[in-house]
């Protein structure tokens, strides 16, 4: 009996050690690297800002200036409510003291400046494959904005989801930090669209079905599914869902929010349109080209209306 107890203790300690090793937050870039602070372009960073939809979550609710990034928006999920943080340049309440490395580790690895995991309600699972120079340019732009006072409340999550260390397991299952490379067989517009859709635009985060742990189901990527916030259904944006849509139809939706049949988008897609309308026309065309190049995919079965 003593040997069995000792064996159980040893196995328990080994299991705990393995868990601690697997769940250790891992940075994407080295902190303190002064070269990361060189060469940022605020004008290019503005385009990254809108492509990434930063204002959609981080702009202070109930005010019109989308560049006041005081945070506070509630993001509902099956795991609880998340609250988007202040990312204005405020030195105490925002990210005014952050380095480019801090922002890169947050976006590319989901790790905070104090070495903790971020929850994937912050779509770093998509941002993780973005270019480091885009992160540098984004920080240059963010530093030009007005500081906003006020800290955002903590997330409202129950056990075990409130234990951040367990997010290391989620990352081991779902986080791919391999940089997204251009497809040599694709033209430049499709490759640009792929980059915008799959990384900065993080379109799959809403337009894909998820498994019980919150990971995107690869077979249903961009093929629609239940709204992540729990109400409604997000459409399929592969050619299976777009059907007879043309390149011009997609560009019109991204700029004006109008569908080919004269309807208009609603809900959170309104913010997406406001972001996409700020991009160069060539980028909206590239997004259309990429979506139309995808193989048609079936999404999950939409529940019948009651």
What's the whole-number mean pLDDT along residues 225-246? 86
Residue 77 clears pLDDT 70, i.e. is over it: yes
pLDDT tops 70 at residue 167:
yes
Give the global pTM.
Answer: 0.89
Please tell me whether residue 71 adopts helix, strand or coil conformation: coil
Number of Cβ within 10 Å of residue 6's Cβ equals 10
Task: Tell whether the model's pLDDT for residue 136 goes beyond 80.
Answer: yes
Q: Which burial class, exposed, middle or buried, applies to 178 when counting CB atoms under 10 A from its CB (0-12, 13-18, 19+)?
A: exposed
SS3 assignment, position 185: coil
We find that the CATH architecture of domain 27-174 is Orthogonal Bundle (1.10)
Mean pLDDT (whole number) for 268-279 = 92
- Checking if the pLDDT of 19 tops 60, the result is no
Section 155-164 average pLDDT = 85
Tell me the mean pLDDT in the region 236-243: 93
Cα–Cα distance between 19 and 13 in angstroms, integer?
10
pLDDT over 70 at 249, yes or no? yes
- Mean of pLDDT values over 27-35: 84
Helix orientation angle between 247-256 and 281-293, rounded to the nearest 10 degrees: 130
Over range 187-210, report the average pLDDT. Answer: 95
Contacts of 4 (CB under 8 A, 6+ apart): none
Q: pLDDT per residue over 56-73, tens digit each?
A: 999 999 888 999 999 999
- The domain limits of the chain are 27-174, 188-293
| Residue 16: per-residue pLDDT | 59
């Amino acid at each position: 009996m003593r040997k069995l107890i000792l064996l159980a203790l040893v196995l328990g300690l080994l299991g705990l050690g393995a868990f601690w090793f697997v769940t250790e937050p891992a940075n994407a870039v080295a902190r303190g690297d002064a070269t990361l602070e060189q060469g940022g372009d605020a004008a290019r960073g503005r385009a990254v800002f809108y492509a990434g939809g930063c204002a959609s979550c981080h702009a202070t609710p109930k005010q019109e200036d989308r560049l006041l990034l005081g945070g506070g928006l509630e993001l509902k999920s099956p795991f609880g409510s998340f609250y988007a943080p202040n990312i204005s340049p405020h030195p105490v309440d925002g990210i005014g003291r952050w380095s480019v490395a801090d922002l890169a580790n947050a976006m590319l690895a989901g790790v905070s400046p104090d070495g903790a995991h971020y929850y994937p309600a912050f779509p770093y699972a998509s941002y993780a494959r973005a270019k480091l120079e885009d992160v540098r340019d984004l920080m240059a732009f963010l530093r030009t904005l007005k500081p906003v006072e006020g800290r955002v409340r903590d997330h409202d999550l129950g056990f075990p989801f409130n234990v951040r260390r367990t997010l290391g397991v989620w990352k081991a299952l779902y986080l791919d930090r391999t940089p997204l490379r251009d497809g040599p067989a694709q033209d430049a517009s499709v490759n640009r669209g792929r980059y915008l859709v799959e990384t900065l635009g993080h379109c799959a985060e809403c337009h894909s079905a998820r498994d019980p742990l919150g990971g995107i189901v690869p077979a249903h990527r961009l093929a629609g599914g239940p709204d992540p916030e729990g109400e409604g259904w997000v459409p399929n944006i592969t050619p299976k869902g777009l059907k007879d849509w043309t390149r011009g139809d997609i560009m019109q939706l991204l700029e004006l929010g109008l569908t080919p049949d004269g309807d208009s988008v609603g809900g959170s897609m309104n913010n997406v349109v406001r972001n996409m309308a700020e991009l160069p026309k060539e980028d909206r065309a590239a997004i259309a080209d990429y979506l139309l190049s995808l193989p048609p995919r079936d999404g999950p079965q939409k529940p019948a209306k009651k």
